[in-house]
Structure 1
């Protein structure tokens, strides 16, 4: 009788241990946990599908430095604004005339070395018209040489002064070939200044 009770107790123990072991195995291999995770995060499959959708490419963010470099590379080159200078001569003084030619030559050479455009206009009126007169100019040979090597330098003669000299001297007032007549030397200086030219009086 005792042996029968022991045998039944042993069988009960085996059954209990076996059910616990089976439950452990079920917990290890049961996919319920992964399904629960998917249910608790229903958006995740959509993201994965969207990320893996064919034909779509992800764009990476660009740093400000990269965007600036790309903009600079595609930016068209802007032409440099030319420098513009007016030099006035209103005195029949050879020293002043030579000083004006020196200034014009130096400015032209300075910007030529920099590779920047420059325009220089020497405007004569009053007694300064002698600088461009063919018969009285003390600097005529120098102007001829300077004009050949410096096309950015031009010479303007006042038409009013030329007419007044013609009346006073009772003869035509011929100018050197490098000179161009303007109606009024003073008005020419004023108009160029209004256009933004720099003005220098020796």
Structure 2
């Protein structure tokens, strides 16, 4: 964090550092979360889109930790999107049909609302489980086809990361 970071962003960074450290400690992961403030105008020099398509907590935790590392390294110079489909879609649901750690939904919400990370839900997957946009958390952006969202983001210069 540099000296030009506004005080309210420093407070948010401190809160998310604490949340990430608690998450990492609870999960046995040594990497703490360090998200950034939302991009304010202009285009980020670094852009990455993550694929999140599994429901296992360890898998999702690894993605959150990677996002946190990117936010820590690039601060305001990175745009991040997470395209969620398949069994991972439950992360973004108000009433998931699979178990989702509440901390994961809180972490996603914090990254989206305070730090500009876009969480994109696949409309096809939602249709398969009988959900509409009203069934999704407020910060989730719904796109008709998740794979198309990934492709379009790549066309805009986003690096694609899946594991």
TM-score greater than 0.5 by the shorter chain:
yes
Residue 104 in 1 paired to residue 64 in 2? no
The aligned runs of 1:38-57 (5 Å cut-off) are: none
Shift of 1:196: 2.0
Q: Quote the residue 1:161 is aligned against.
A: 125
The aligned runs of 1:91-170 (5 Å cut-off) are: 91-112=54-75, 117-136=77-96, 137-138=100-101, 139-151=104-116, 153-166=117-130
Change (3 A) 1:146 1:194: closer
1:91-148 C-alpha deviation (Å, 9 max, x unpaired): 1111111111111111012111xxx521000000111111111222421122223334
Shift of 1:201: 0.7
Provide the C-alpha distance between the structure 2 equivalents of 1:85 and 1:92, rounded to a whole number of angstroms: 21
Report the TM-score, using the length of structure 2 for normalisation: 0.64
Provide the C-alpha distance between the structure 2 equivalents of 1:154 and 1:108, rounded to a whole number of angstroms: 13
Q: Is the contact made by 2:52 and 2:84 (CA closer than 8 Å) also made in structure 1?
A: yes
Unpaired runs of 5+ in structure 1? 1-78
Name whichever structure is richer in helix by fraction.
1
Q: Is the contact made by 2:113 and 2:139 (CA closer than 8 Å) also made in structure 1?
A: no
Larger RCO of the pair (alpha carbons < 8 Å, separation 6+) = 2
Q: Secondary structure at the match of 1:95?
A: helix
User: Looking at CA atoms only, which structure, 1 or 2, has the larger radius of gyration?
Assistant: 1
Change (3 A) 1:193 1:80: closer
Q: Is the contact made by 1:134 and 1:140 (CA closer than 8 Å) also made in structure 2?
A: no
Report the TM-score, using the length of structure 1 for normalisation: 0.52
Equivalent residue pairs, number: 116
RMSD over equivalenced CA pairs, Å: 2.1
Q: Is the contact made by 2:112 and 2:119 (CA closer than 8 Å) also made in structure 1?
A: no
Change (3 A) 1:110 1:157: same
Q: Secondary structure at the match of 1:156?
A: strand
Provide the C-alpha distance between the structure 1 equivalents of 2:80 and 2:70, rounded to a whole number of angstroms: 8
